[in-house]
Amino acid sequence: MVDTDDPRVVAAAWSRLAEPADPAAGHLVRALGADAALAWVLDAAAGPDVAERAIRRLHGARPGLPDELAPARLLRAVSRWAPRTRGLDPRRELRSLDLLGGTLLLPGDPRWPRALDDLGVLAPHCLWVRGEPDLGGASAGSVALVGARACTEYGRHVAAELAHGLASRGVTVVSGGAYGIDAAAHRAALAGRGTTVAYLAGGIDRLYPAGNADLLRGVLDAGGAVVGEVPPGSVPSRVRFLLRNRLIAATARATVVVEAAWRSGALSTAARAAELLRPVGAVPGPVTSMASSGCHRLLRDGAAVCVTDVDEVAELALPVGDGLPDGGSGDRARGGTASGAGTPDGLDGVGRRLFDALPLRRAADVASIARTAGLALDETRGALGLLELAGFAVQEAGSWRRASSGNR
């Protein structure tokens, strides 16, 4: 039997029972709590009659459940989950994870990327992580670089330039571990001695695709992470690839599509990022290249900002908000902001706290700035890189201070 008192077991069970982004699972967990919801499903899964009675009882006891849990829908959901309740053994998967030296992250863990909470009921039940388990800071100083598997030499080159530039400034490069643009981004982030995180569509026991296994081991060795939301042993299906994209879009501060054909999966990552109000960038390319046609589509539709170098990517990831007197980003000149005094009025939470914590004259080391700002070390490192790229911070022999307005 499954021990519904152990939160790790419960979360692992949910990640096995329900496909990623199953809204019924998300709503049931939200309504009852993960443990009670699991116990209820394990009971209801005994058979159609049992399920119908359980649903009636549930609706009787809990009036006002959301539409997504209406009896007919919930019945269909239980019938989806029921086959997987047979032989369900989360402890076996947790043992696999231990053997891999991995970590199960639950929502609420300080290392949990809080940016995932923006997914609401579609957030993952847990994250299966190999490598560095602290993903909490990555959302502050991270950029997703995504694109086509069938990329061109041009796309590979630009992905590498951007990833190297971001990584060497301490910005985490997030991608999907696939061939093509993803691989170029991970590889160049490693070359830039930076941190990179790969979100896989299947179980993290299998470093997929096989041709990238060495690269992904390199990601782990370099202090990065390989992350999945389905348990070890799960295969990466087409729909899981698409749903995995929402994790990339949500955890990264900005998503940049480097190269994508007209119907590339990378466009779905861009669409998810836009839905989550994350900035989206697209790298232009030759109009004669079909591999750039998806990027041009995003630009034509106004769904993405045109980005051509690492500074522009950083500007995207560290946005100056709408509160500026002259109407925001359209007025910003290259490498500057509308604010002449060098006060980054529109910086968001982390950026603002960090900027306030930066010494004006004598540079301080990252640990002392992190303490002052009350931020995690990783988070501080990544966000400092973005502040530097945007011209708000200056690095001097490894220590940091505020940029004087003359430097901007």
Per DSSP, which regions of 229-362 are E strands? 254-259, 280-282, 305-306
Q: Which of 96, 237, 293, 399 binds its own copies (CB under 8 A)?
A: 293
Name beta bridge partners: 146: 257
Burial code of 150-182, b = ≥16 C-beta within 10 A, e = fewer? ebbebbbebbbbbbbbbbbbbbbbbbbbbebbb
Question: Nearest approach, Cβ of 300 to its own copies (angstroms)?
Answer: 5
Parallel/antiparallel/unpaired status of strands 393-396 and 399-402 = antiparallel
Q: Which of 110, 286, 335, 349 binds its own copies (CB under 8 A)?
A: 286
Q: Candidates 23-31, 227-235, 242-250, 292-300 — which segment interacts with its own copies by CB under 8 A?
A: 292-300
Q: Which of 107, 141, 285, 294 binds its own copies (CB under 8 A)?
A: 285
Q: Which is nearer to its own copies, 307 or 370 (CB)?
A: 307
Q: Does 299 bind its own copies (CB under 8 A)?
A: yes
Q: Does 398 bind its own copies (CB under 8 A)?
A: no
Q: Is the peptide bond before 133 cis (omega within 30 degrees of 0)?
A: no
Question: Nearest approach, Cβ of 310 to its own copies (angstroms)?
Answer: 11
Question: Nearest approach, Cβ of 394 to its own copies (angstroms)?
Answer: 25
Burial of 76 (0-12, 13-18, 19+ CB in 10 A): exposed
Q: Does 325 bind its own copies (CB under 8 A)?
A: no
Q: Does 158 bind its own copies (CB under 8 A)?
A: yes
Q: Does 275 bind its own copies (CB under 8 A)?
A: no
Token digits for 275?
């839905």
Q: Which of 3, 98, 221, 301 binds its own copies (CB under 8 A)?
A: 301
What does the alpha-carbon distance between residue 292 and residue 178 come to, in Å, rounded to a whole number? Answer: 18
Question: Nearest approach, Cβ of 174 to its own copies (angstroms)?
Answer: 21
Q: Which of 66, 149, 154, 408 binds its own copies (CB under 8 A)?
A: 154
Q: Does 327 bind its own copies (CB under 8 A)?
A: no
Question: Nearest approach, Cβ of 148 to its own copies (angstroms)?
Answer: 16
Distance (Å) of CA 43 to CA 4, 47, 48, 49, 369: 12, 9, 11, 11, 52
What does the alpha-carbon distance between residue 356 and residue 80 come to, in Å, rounded to a whole number? Answer: 51
Q: How far is CA 334 from the centre of its chain?
A: 28
Question: Nearest approach, Cβ of 241 to its own copies (angstroms)?
Answer: 25
How many C-beta atoms surround the C-beta of residue 210 within 10 A?
8
Question: Nearest approach, Cβ of 338 to its own copies (angstroms)?
Answer: 13
Q: Does 255 bind its own copies (CB under 8 A)?
A: no
Closest to 36 measured CA to CA, from 16, 56, 62, 60: 62
The owner of tokens 């690839």 is 241
Q: Which is nearer to its own copies, 293 or 368 (CB)?
A: 293
The site for its own copies (CB under 8 A) is made up of 154, 157-158, 283-288, 292-293, 295-297, 299-302, 305-309, 312, 330, 334
